[in-house]
Amino acid sequence: MDKIPILRMGAYLLVTIQVDLYDRLALNLEADLVQMVNKTSAKGVLIDISAVSIVDSFMGRIIGNIASMSKILDAETVVVGMQPAVAITLIELGLPLKGVHTALDMEKGMNLLKSMIDSTEDDADEDQTADDLITE
């Protein structure tokens, strides 16, 4: 198994991490995900880590990387299902996952993604209107 499947659901991509992310697997996931975002014009990426009970600095960095990569391709990333012990470890490792949005479970994550995407679109509309109105 050297690939983590990426599921497409409309404008979202869903990734469930169930195995330890060793180097090659993590790099494959990064590459696959970026390609999928590009190919499907996805607006959001949902990463479920509810099966991950042990986390290290490598995995923390990978999640941060994926979020940053998606962001510059105009897709938001939400990490869902983090176990309390994982949250403790991440903070103790000094990895507060900056720039990564989190939600308690899949449904809340999906709602968060939807609201973020809607507000981005609203902002874009507002900016345009503001540009039209500014005459200074």
Size of the site for a second copy (CB under 8 A): 21
Q: What are phi and psi of 60, to 5 degrees?
A: -60, -40
Q: By CB under 8 A, is residue 41 in contact with a second copy?
A: no
* Stated length of the chain: 136
DSSP conformational letter for 19: S
- Rounded Cα gap, residues 95 and 49, in angstroms: 16
CB of 20 to a second copy, least distance (A): 8
Task: List Cα–Cα distances, 122 to 2, 24, 45, 67, 81, in angstroms.
Answer: 40, 39, 20, 22, 28
Q: For residues 106-125, which are near a second copy according to CB under 8 A?
A: 106-107, 110
Q: By CB under 8 A, is residue 24 in contact with a second copy?
A: no
CB of 113 to a second copy, least distance (A): 12
State the residues that interact with a second copy by CB under 8 A.
1, 3-5, 7-10, 14, 16, 18-19, 48, 50-51, 53, 81, 105-107, 110
